[in-house]
């Protein structure tokens, strides 16, 4: 096993920024140094990540954020998860010969949410202007940045497909006809012009807030929406189904939607209050798992031992099984979260956790939801919903062609905190929109095409996103912001980090650096929606004895190469104002910066 020396936490009192790219992290810190607050820094960082990590997120994507505003003294959620377009009906998709929504192409698209979410954050919580937060992204798009080897490899792997099927993407990502060399200077001049035009249209107005509103109009009711409508209304493109399809997103869909602010879902655990997004995402899975684990002595377990991994995995399997039956957009379906998070429910469910790994999908059957339970379980037995290999987005040692996500944490000296997980609109999602320099998202793949389920496709409905940032209060004081990319694995990696941090006296970096693991037991949120009963992936960083013990417990174990699972980042504010931050050494680049 390769030795690794744990890095110390980053310390500061002025501000800390973590993100999944060094350039973006540095931009966030520079915004703080220019007089911006944590929210301004997060916005600028998010736009730069769209430039430097285009295989992980883009302007056509989506994002949820959990934030604490010192001025408002309140924890809130920004929902910038766009819903399904008006034309996205089950009848239309099945008439196209589909049983599942493809993982790419134009039918996989919902309303792009991230831009409106960033502008809402800037308007209501920040203090800088549209120009201030977009200028760094414009600079890197126009003048170039050193392209990451993984971005280069992703583009190269898709080159033939782009040439044959998505010519606008071929033109954008393979200028001159060849994939960019790793670390070469790469530009996106078309996107730079898009953002410059947004800034110009914003600055026709006087006043910061009026400019922000004008920028939102330019995107959702102006030239951006018009370009998207024009392309989607005519294009018929190849997708993962093996067929060409037209999309259903229109300018009217975009004009009639905006990001919103809502209350977080919370749960109290060992002196901490954990705040997550609601059941329109998978956030409550984290909280449900905590409710189950309250009955175990995790502090008495080795944080890198087999009992710790087994107990958490079996608890997660139960919580994720409930996700399949009960989670969905609460504007469209009743989600019994009070019951799912109750002590009585947890006490009964906890009895299912035994020394042996379960191979069964075991959601709870709640009174009043029997038909929904039966329909879900029957649907999950259909051929398109079971068996097969699981290739989650972040598992880069399995594939270079899947999209993924980025994560940002920022805390400033005033005590403002934000945890945000932008995603979607990655370069693998769909063809580049002509004249804009970016593509749309593929979040609609998380809907089912079976009627009557909480996550069944319906116009105006939010897909059950996997994006799930976290903010935690210690003894009522906003203290910790953390998160990770990784699809269905996001809650799993965050949970092991949090439990190790709470129960084992580790600092942020030590908790992040412990070996990671995740289950593939439950149905994937991503096309083709497969599952591996009893599947457990664990890093080779675990001792051989631990891995052997997990096999003996019945886990269907896959051992991933060392330091390849998870991209956690975290930031903390102590009572005395000292700031701490840490970032993972795994996979791709993740950085923590503080001053």
- What distance in Å separates the CA atoms of residue 124 and residue 276, rounded to the nearest whole number? 20
**Max CA separation in the chain (angstroms):** 68
Indicate the pairing of strand 556-560 with strand 569-573: unpaired
Read off the pLDDT of residues 579-593 as tens digits, 9 standing for 90 and up: 999 998 886 678 888
Res 339: pLDDT: 98
- What distance in Å separates the CA atoms of residue 439 and residue 233, rounded to the nearest whole number? 15
The token pair that represents 269 in the structure block = 């655990």
Q: For the chain, give the mean pLDDT.
A: 92
Give the residue-averaged pLDDT of 194-213: 98
Question: Which strand (E) or helix (H) includes residue 274?
Answer: strand 272-276
Q: What percent of the chain has pLDDT over 90?
A: 85
Read off the pLDDT of residues 66-96 as tens digits, 9 standing for 90 and up: 999 999 999 999 999 999 999 999 999 999 9
Query: Long-range contacts made by residues 26-29, C-beta under 8 angstroms, separation at least 24?
Result: 26/593, 27/136, 28/408, 28/410, 28/593, 29/593, 29/594, 29/595
For the chain, the C-alpha Rg in angstroms (whole number) is 22
- Count of other CB atoms within 10 angstroms of residue 83: 24
Whether the per-residue pLDDT at 401 is higher than 80: the answer is no
The token pair that represents 99 in the structure block = 């049983």
- What distance in Å separates the CA atoms of residue 186 and residue 198, rounded to the nearest whole number? 22
Residues ≥6 apart with Cβ < 8 Å to 233: 246, 250
- What distance in Å separates the CA atoms of residue 555 and residue 138, rounded to the nearest whole number? 48
Res 22: pLDDT: 84
Report in angstroms the alpha-carbon separations of 564 from 184, 486, 568. 24, 12, 12
DSSP state of 472: E
468 in Cβ contact with 264 (< 8 Å)? no
407 in Cβ contact with 423 (< 8 Å)? no
Cα-Cα-Cα-Cα dihedral sign, residues 469, 126, 251, 452: positive
HSE at residue 298, side-chain half, CA atoms within 13 A, is: 29
* Strand order across the beta sheet in which 556-560 lies: 517-519, 535-539, 556-560
Read off the pLDDT of residues 475-501 as tens digits, 9 standing for 90 and up: 999 999 999 888 888 899 999 999 999
Task: Work out the angle between the directed axes of helices 130-143 and 114-125 (0-180°, nearest 10).
Answer: 140
Burial of 326 (0-12, 13-18, 19+ CB in 10 A): buried
Three-point CA angle 374, 332, 59, nearest 5°: 115
Res 369: pLDDT: 96
Question: Which strand (E) or helix (H) includes residue 370?
Answer: helix 370-379
HSE at residue 165, side-chain half, CA atoms within 13 A, is: 20
Residues ≥6 apart with Cβ < 8 Å to 568: 482, 483, 484, 493, 494, 497, 512, 583, 584, 590
Indicate the pairing of strand 417-420 with strand 63-69: antiparallel
Read off the pLDDT of residues 103-141 as tens digits, 9 standing for 90 and up: 999 999 999 999 999 999 999 999 999 999 999 999 999
Read off the pLDDT of residues 147-184 as tens digits, 9 standing for 90 and up: 999 899 999 999 999 999 999 999 999 998 999 999 99
Domain ranges of the chain: 27-59+81-259+423-446, 262-401+465-594
Res 522: pLDDT: 87
Res 568: pLDDT: 93
Residues ≥6 apart with Cβ < 8 Å to 25: 17, 18, 19, 45, 591, 592, 593
Question: Which strand (E) or helix (H) includes residue 189?
Answer: helix 189-202
Question: Which strand (E) or helix (H) includes residue 536?
Answer: strand 535-539
Spatial CA neighbour of 78 closest among 262, 281, 220, 209? 262
- The DSSP-derived string for 312-342 is HHHHHHHHHHHHHHH-S-TTTS---HHHHTS
- What distance in Å separates the CA atoms of residue 395 and residue 549, rounded to the nearest whole number? 24
Spatial CA neighbour of 579 closest among 128, 121, 32? 32
Give the residue-averaged pLDDT of 194-207: 98
Read off the pLDDT of residues 343-400 as tens digits, 9 standing for 90 and up: 999 999 999 999 999 999 999 999 999 999 999 999 887 645 443 332 334 333 334 4
The token pair that represents 547 in the structure block = 């891995």
Cα-Cα-Cα-Cα dihedral sign, residues 385, 390, 394, 400: negative
- Count of other CB atoms within 10 angstroms of residue 505: 11
The token pair that represents 32 in the structure block = 């703080």
246 in Cβ contact with 112 (< 8 Å)? no
| CATH class for the domain made up of 262-401+465-594 | mainly alpha
Three-point CA angle 423, 67, 33, nearest 5°: 90
Cis peptide before 528 (omega within 30 of 0): yes
- Tell me, yes or no, if the pTM score tops 0.85: yes
Spell out the SS3 assignment of 417-456.
Answer: EEEECCEECCCCCCCCCCCCCCCECCHHHHCECCCCCCCE
């Amino acid at each position: 096993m390769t030795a690794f020396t744990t890095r110390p936490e980053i310390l500061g009192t002025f501000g800390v920024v973590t993100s999944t790219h060094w350039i973006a992290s540095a931009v966030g810190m520079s915004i703080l140094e220019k007089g911006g607050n944590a929210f301004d820094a997060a916005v600028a960082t998010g736009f730069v990540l769209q430039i430097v990590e285009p295989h992980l997120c883009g302007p056509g994507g989506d994002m949820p954020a959990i934030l604490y505003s010192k001025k408002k003294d309140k924890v809130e959620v920004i929902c910038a998860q766009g819903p399904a377009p008006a034309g996205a009906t089950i009848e239309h998709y099945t008439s196209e010969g589909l049983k599942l929504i493809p993982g790419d192409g134009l039918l996989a698209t919902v309303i792009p949410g991230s831009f409106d979410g960033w502008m809402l954050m800037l308007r209501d919580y920040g203090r800088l202007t549209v120009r201030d937060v977009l200028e760094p992204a414009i600079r890197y798009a126009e003048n170039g940045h050193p392209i990451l080897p993984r971005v280069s490899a992703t583009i190269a792997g898709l080159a033939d497909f782009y040439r044959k099927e998505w010519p606008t993407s071929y033109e954008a990502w393979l200028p001159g006809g060849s994939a960019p060399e790793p670390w070469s200077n790469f530009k996106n001049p078309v996107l730079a012009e898009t953002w410059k035009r947004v800034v110009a249209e914003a600055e026709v107005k006087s006043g910061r807030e009026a400019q922000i509103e004008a920028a939102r109009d330019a995107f959702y009711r102006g030239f951006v929406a018009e370009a998207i409508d024009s392309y989607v209304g005519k294009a018929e493109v190849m997708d993962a189904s093996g067929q060409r399809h037209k999309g259903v997103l229109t300018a009217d869909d975009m004009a009639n939607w905006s990001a919103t602010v809502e209350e977080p879902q919370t749960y109290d655990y060992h002196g901490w209050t954990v705040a997550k997004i609601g059941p329109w995402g998978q956030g409550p899975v984290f909280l449900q798992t905590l409710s189950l684990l309250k009955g175990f002595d995790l502090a008495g377990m080795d944080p890198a031992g087999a009992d710790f991994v087994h107990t958490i995995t079996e608890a997660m399997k139960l919580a994720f099984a409930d996700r399949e039956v009960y989670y969905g957009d609460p504007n469209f379906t009743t989600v019994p979260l009070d019951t799912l998070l109750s002590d009585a429910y947890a006490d009964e469910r906890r009895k299912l956790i035994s020394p042996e790994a379960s191979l069964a999908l075991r959601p709870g059957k709640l009174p009043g939801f029997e038909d929904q339970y039966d329909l879900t379980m029957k649907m999950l037995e259909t051929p398109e919903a079971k068996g097969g290999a699981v290739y989650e987005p972040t598992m880069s040692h399995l594939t270079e062609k899947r999209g993924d996500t980025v994560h940002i944490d920022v805390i400033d000296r005033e005590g403002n905190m934000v945890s945000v997980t932008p995603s979607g609109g990655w370069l693998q999602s769909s063809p580049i929109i002509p004249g804009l320099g970016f593509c749309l998202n593929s979040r609609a793949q998380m809907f089912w095409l079976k009627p009557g389920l909480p996550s069944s496709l319906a116009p105006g409905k939010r897909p059950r996103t996997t994006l799930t940032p976290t903010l935690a209060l210690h003894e009522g004081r906003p203290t910790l912001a953390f998160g990770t990319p990784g699809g269905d694995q996001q809650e799993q990696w965050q949970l092991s980090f949090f439990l190790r941090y709470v129960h084992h006296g580790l600092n942020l970096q030590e908790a992040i650096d412990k070996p990671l693991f995740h289950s593939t037991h439950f149905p994937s949120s991503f096309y083709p929606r497969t599952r591996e009963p009893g599947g457990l992936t664990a890093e080779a960083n675990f001792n051989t004895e631990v891995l052997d013990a997990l096999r003996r417990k019945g886990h269907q174990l896959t051992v991933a190469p060392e330091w390849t699972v998870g991209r956690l980042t975290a930031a903390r504010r102590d009572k005395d104002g000292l700031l701490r931050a840490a970032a993972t050494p795994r996979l791709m680049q993740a950085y923590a910066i503080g001053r």
